[in-house]
Structure 1
């Protein structure tokens, strides 16, 4: 995990947001505690949203499944 933390710091310093999505996903997968994994997944999701990353929806779904995020409400039907 120490090497991954170095990579995260380097990606932050370089402002490489797309790399941060991947690195935070890796950190979540390696995390030993559910709260720590959720912390990393949340960061991955935020950076995915900022970069329009293709994993954004999947990351949100994982957070919803873990009870860390709320499901979006169904859209309202149009007025008639």
Structure 2
């Protein structure tokens, strides 16, 4: 288990949405494939939406750039 994995598990255990948003974005940044990165970004996006976090649009833009979320008209 990596340190990032341990931090993610701890953040889930603590229900720490801010940490989860940050950590899932970090996981996306270091992912081995675009599919894995988008998997992590989707998690970050869901937690950000639930928390009304200021990173919502940034995360969404990353998903749009990868074709995983439709662009707004």
Shorter-chain TM-score: which interval? Answer: over 0.9
* Structure with the greater alpha carbon radius of gyration: 1
TM-score when normalising by structure 2: 0.94
- Per-residue CA shift, 1:22-63, capped at 9, x if unaligned? 000000001011100000011111111111111100100110
The unaligned stretches of length 5 or more in structure 1 are 74-80
Partner of 2:42: 42
Answering whether residue 52 of structure 2 is matched by residue 52 of structure 1, we say yes
Runs of 4+ in 1 over 3 A off after TM superposition: none
Query: Following superposition of structure 1 onto structure 2, how do residues 26-37 of structure 1 map, counting pairs within 5 Å?
Result: 26-37=26-37
TM-score by length of 1: 0.86
The CA deviation at 1:72 is: 2.5
CA distance in 2, matches of 1:51, 1:36: 23
Aligned residues: 73
C-alpha distance in structure 1 between counterparts of 2:71 and 2:37, whole Å: 19
Structure 2, unpaired ranges of 5+: none
